[in-house]
Amino acid sequence: MGTDQFQELKASVQASGFKLTPQRQSTLQVLIEQSDQLLSAEQIYMYTREKNESIGLATVYRTLEILTSIQVVSKVIGSEGLAYYSLINRQSQHAPHHLVCIHCGRIIEINEDLLDAVEKEVEKNFHFKVTNHHLVIHGLCQDCQEGDLHYDE
């Protein structure tokens, strides 16, 4: 586990008024260790149980909702309706964007901020201060396109 990254995330949680309970600490550790992939709450629960046998699935769900609400974790809904989670890159100002394949369910994370111009227009035209955004685009991944699938969605 990256000690610096953990300390930064710990500070973010505490600055938001939440305590870093052992269960939340275990969940954060899993998210750091598995930061190269999106995980379902059930997958996070299974990894977390290896560190803290006393943790329950409901606690993992509550922890993920807290971490999402304070913008430590990004949540994306896959094509099958399941939620997937990953740590937000702290170097970026916004949560990552996601491409969701409607055929195979693959989720591709995009860390580039693609909506700067849209943000400026929203702020100018609607007098609305954008603090964050999350874009999910549904379509067909390259593998499914090459599989000669025909979708009119």
Question: Which tens digits make up the pLDDT trace of 44-96?
Answer: 999 999 988 999 999 999 999 999 999 888 888 887 888 999 888 766 556 67
Which amino acid belongs to residue 34?
Answer: Q
Burial class (CB in 10 A: 0-12, 13-18, 19+), 117: exposed
Greater confidence (125 vs 131) lies with: 125
The Cα 115–Cα 61 span in angstroms is: 29
- Given a contact cutoff of 8 angstroms between Cβ atoms, the answer to whether 81 and 107 are in contact is no
pLDDT at site 35: 83
The distance from CA 3 to its chain's CA centroid, rounded to whole angstroms, is: 21
Neighbour tally for 101: CB within 10 Å: 19
pLDDT at site 103: 87
pLDDT at site 152: 52
